[in-house]
Amino acid sequence: MTRRRPHGDAGQAFPIYITVVGGLLFLAFAYFAVGQAAANRNGAQTAADAAALAAAQDTRDQLADRWVQDLLDPAEWQAIFDGDVEGLAFSCGRAQELAARNDAHVVGCDLAGLLGYEVEVRTNKTVGDSIVPGTEERQSTATATAVIEPRCTFKLPAEDAEDDVLPLLTCKGEEWNLDPKGPIELLPEPHDLFDVHLAD
């Protein structure tokens, strides 16, 4: 007579196995969803940082150009280094360009004082499909502020000094003996005059 093997234990273990595998799959999808969201947020922050820096750098270049224009009028230099000049173009267009390069778009851009820009961007891509409801339509946003800091100091010449005598310009320890009759190539460049960085 043939004896049958008992199947009771195997039958009881199978539902437990399915439950464990299902739980592991759920956790895997959950971690994947978290990773998707984190990557999207990181992309938004990268785009915001780049956009804010681009806007600030554009204004820095405009201030440097204004300084060159007023090179022979040192009385105007301090206002330029303070950013307190009229006629500067708004630089949010540059912010939009850099946001677009990072697959995002600007949803807010404004001055942060006279020497800075605050930019908010939103990613073009959504987080994507996941087990978390609504992520397929959700985009990430991020904000960044970039500031411009003057690097140079100077002392105005005495009132009885000759007209072609310009102040000694000191920029972070580097001295510039400015020659008003010299070639423009020998003048400080925008990055010599101003630092641009993200605000802490």
Please compute the mean of the pLDDT values over residues 63-82 and round it to a whole number: 95
Task: Examine residue 1 and state whether it is found in any structural domain, yes or no.
Answer: no
**154 C-beta neighbours (distance < 10 Å), count:** 17
The answer to the question of residue 82 being in a domain is yes
Q: Report the SS3 class of residue 155.
A: coil
What pLDDT, in 10s, does the model give residues 24-42? 555 554 544 555 556 668 8
Residue 39 burial (CB count, 10 A):
14
Edge-first strand order for the sheet with 169-171 is: 152-153, 169-171, 174-176
In-domain check, residue 18: yes
Average pLDDT, the chain: 83
Host domain of residue 92: 14-199
2 found inside a domain = no
CA distance 156 to 33: 61
Out of 61-65, 159-163, 168-172, 186-190, least confident range: 159-163
In this prediction, residue 157 carries a pLDDT of: 74
Number of structural domains (the chain) is 1
Does 5 fall in a domain?
Answer: no
- 84-139 confidence digits (pLDDT tens): 999 999 999 999 999 999 999 999 999 999 999 999 999 998 765 444 555 556 78
Per residue in 173-189, pLDDT (tens digit) is 999 988 877 777 789 99
- Terminal-to-terminal C-alpha distance of the chain: 84
Q: Residue 66 and residue 68: Cα distance in Å, rounded? A: 5
* CA 25, 29, 30, 31 torsion-angle sign: positive
Those residues with Cβ within 8 angstroms of residue 144's Cβ, 6 or more apart along the chain or in another chain: 45, 48, 49, 51, 52, 53, 118, 119, 198
- Kindly state whether residue 161 falls inside one of the protein's structural domains: yes
pLDDT for the residue 87: 93
103 token code pair:
């697959």
What per-residue confidence (pLDDT) applies to 37?
A: 58
Query: Within a domain: residue 143?
Result: yes
CB-CB contact of 111 with 117 (8 Å): yes
What pLDDT, on a 0 to 100 scale, did the predictor assign at position 18?
67
The C-alpha atoms of residue 81 and residue 6 are separated, in whole angstroms, by: 89
92-101 and 8-69 helices, crossing angle to 10°: 150
Closest CA to 76 of 65, 67, 63: 67
Please report whether residue 96 resides in a domain: yes
